[in-house]
Amino acid sequence: GQQLNQSPQSMFIQEGEDVSMNCTSSSIFNTWLWYKQDPGEGPVLLIALYKAGELTSNGRLTAQFGITRKDSFLNISASIPSDVGIYFCAGLYSGAGSYQLTFGKGTKLSVIP
């Protein structure tokens, strides 16, 4: 099956710093997605990217869909304590009657006030 390599696995940063995380895959995806999951909760969609090369922002978050369609990154600028959580990338492949959403293993973000 398809696999996503997400890095880093965890990060400890100072409040106010910028953060960057990325995902790579050996397979092509139609859509790249970034989710945030708080402990004991389901994931919440942050950004969805639908076209290769697309760069999309959502507040302090910026994500890009790699031009090869095999990678994506997420940047968080000026981090704040409530950014703490686990961030997951996910690649979506849909076509020829199939639909498959594959998640990365997550990046655990800790923000030191």
Partner 1 sequence: GAVVSQHPSRVICKSGTSVKIECRSLDFQATTMFWYRQFPKQSLMLMATSNEGSKATYEQGVEKDKFLINHASLTLSTLTVTSAHPEDSSFYICSASTRAGTEILADTQYFGPGTRLTVL
Please spell the DSSP secondary structure of 28-78, one letter per residue: --SEEEEEEE-TTS--EEEEEE-STT-EEEETTEEEEE-TTSSEEEEEE-S
Q: Which of 12, 14, 59, 97 binds partner 1 (CB under 8 A)?
A: 97
Q: What is the closest distance, in whole angstroms, from the C-beta atom of residue 53 to partner 1 in the complex?
A: 17
Q: What is the closest distance, in whole angstroms, from the C-beta atom of residue 36 to partner 1 in the complex?
A: 11
Residues of this chain that bind partner 1 (CB under 8 A): 1, 31, 33, 35, 40-45, 48, 88, 90, 92, 94-95, 97-101, 103-106
